[in-house]
Amino acid sequence: MDKQYITERFINTCIREDVYGLLSDNAVIQTEFDIPNLPETLKQQTLWLEITSPKQTNWLPIIASDYMQYWQLASPVWLQKNSDGYIIKHDYEDFVAILKQLSGASETALDSYLLELDCATEHRALARQGFESQHSQLVRNINEYPSWSERLLYADQVASYLDHPYYPTARAKLGLDAADIAAYSPEFAPTFSLYWVAISKALSTVSAKLPNIWPSFADVGLNPDLQQTHHLFPIHPLTLPLLQQHALKDDTGQLILAPKSALSVQPTLSVRTVVCCADSNIHIKVPLIVRTLGNKNVRLIKSSTIYDGYWFQRTLQLIAEKDVALQGYYAHCDESLGGHMGDDKTLAFIVRRYDDINLTDKTPVPVAAFGSVMPDDRPFISHLIDIFYDGDSRRWLKEYIALLCHVHLILWIKYGIALEANQQNAVIVFDQHSCTMTLLMKDNDSARLYPPRFNAAMTQIGLSNVIDINAINNIKDIKDQRIVVEDELALAQMFLTITLQLDIVAIIEMMSNHDIINRNDAYQILTDGIDATLHSLSVRGYDTHLAQKVLLENQHWYIKYLLCAGSLLSKEESGATDINKFYGKSAPNTLKLMQQLNQDS
């Protein structure tokens, strides 16, 4: 079951991203096969993607689609013909063998990805084991948990059982084995302690005051006098072995591994960010030697993200304070505290605090949890709608879309800011008393910012001190220059692929698949929500032309080519400076198609 599931996701993604010309170099044909022992799933099939090579021909059963790709796999079973006749194929190993025959295919990359497919299959089975082992916790109503922090941790655990909507092997945590998953992943809700290393102050930087729960040097078995000369950095237990092999072999006394672990924590959805049991207002993000969403995505911490994340936190908070249109729509957690040892990505940390946000009696839930199927076989969003919206799915969806469109379109079109608020980072705060939703922001170190628009907007609202008036295409204090973009299209691509496709469209499709909402109605709500926000901005004099064109009028949508950039192509081949922002323009514009369908009917 797990292998079949991963196989289907993998092949669909290869079609969507046109991997090695899989779609563009081959033909969609209409025919029927009348051969012995043809599986029932293929007997009525008439549309096929015919993949030809000198040694064989393969026919993938496909159906037309208007969601993220024009063609998708009808069944993870296909037909192959070689010198021995017709054969039925159904495993991802067989499909990797097909890809290897395509022009431009990298055998090395595909062999590496085969390991990722195996890992995803294994880890999906482990996730199901975790789900079963946590049954008694998962059947509880989220509001039975007394504090917001317990509810957020519960929601993170719920989210951990669901895959990323578009990356086929998102389940794989490359570098972790079964014991690691059970001991350190949210699927099993473990508790463990962090390790610590004392780093010379001459080598390390800590950006703000450490919280009271930070262990003392004596707590971790070190000489208290070291506090005069060293900083104490946390280390994830899974990262410790690598550090012991390399960085911690230092014998000069500048790096000293503490003999005792300290500070009990629990993992959040990201795994490398942990909640402190002694004070759940405090989350700590630490480097983790694990690769997710592609074998190039090692979950370490660059020093620049500490400063850039805090810059966006302060800027977004200032905007929310000054701009009446955004007041009360979002809050941002405090990420002022971080530490790093130069540019070493394995010795760093970020502290995320929620103390200043009023979350009492509220329920924060990451969007990633919405589609996770609960023990009663209903997606988690159905439970949330029952609790907070009296079961009114349409009203919830309308308000959810309005919230995301309002905040992110204003940030894009007025301020020149596009946030990479993916399903993990986009946290919706439900308030049962006011029957409203707001956004809780975090981890905004990979945003995109267009200086001319940003500078003009900040000057307009009296925040010109944030900009550098002497450098029109620069922003003060931004470390990672990939954040600063030369045109508005980069903002459009970010909004489209993150806010629209990940946070809204994927949720609409999930709700439709579970018969929670009428699909056509949901897309009309989305079109109306975008129209309303764009009209509001336009009448106030802001330029909405590109947004109108990219979101509603263009025949094709941009999509992220996550598999190509993350695993199958080198940076030289893709040309992507950031593997998480490699785009193709090959998806149907679902909103435009839906509008045409409504007009025709």
Give pLDDT tens digits for 48-74: 999 998 889 999 999 999 999 999 999
pLDDT at site 246: 78
Which among 313, 289, 359, 297 is positioned nearest to 207, based on CA atoms? 313
By the 8 A CB rule, do 375 and 133 touch? no
pTM greater than 0.85: yes
Task: For residue 264, give the 3-state DSSP assignment.
Answer: strand
Residue 203 pLDDT exceeds 80 = yes
Q: What percent of the chain has pLDDT over 70?
A: 98
pLDDT at site 432: 85
DSSP E strands, 518-596: 556-560, 583-588
Of the ranges 80-84, 189-193, 246-250, the best mean pLDDT one: 189-193
pLDDT at site 471: 52
Q: Using pLDDT thresholds of 50, 70 and 90, give the confidence band for residue 470.
A: low
Average pLDDT over residues 129-143: 95
Task: For residue 410, give the 3-state DSSP assignment.
Answer: helix
pLDDT at site 83: 84
pLDDT at site 473: 57
Average pLDDT over residues 384-389: 96
pLDDT at site 469: 54
Q: Using pLDDT thresholds of 50, 70 and 90, give the confidence band for residue 88.
A: very high
Model pLDDT for residues 401-431, shown as the tens digit of each residue: 999 999 999 999 999 999 999 999 999 999 9
Minimum mean pLDDT among 25-39, 285-299, 303-317, 346-360: which range?
285-299
pLDDT at site 343: 94
- Mean residue pLDDT across the chain: 94
Domains of the chain: 2-107 (3.30.310), 178-322 (no CATH), 362-450+485-600 (1.10.510.40)
pLDDT at site 336: 97
Helices (H), 23-162: 40-43, 92-100, 107-133, 135-138, 148-159
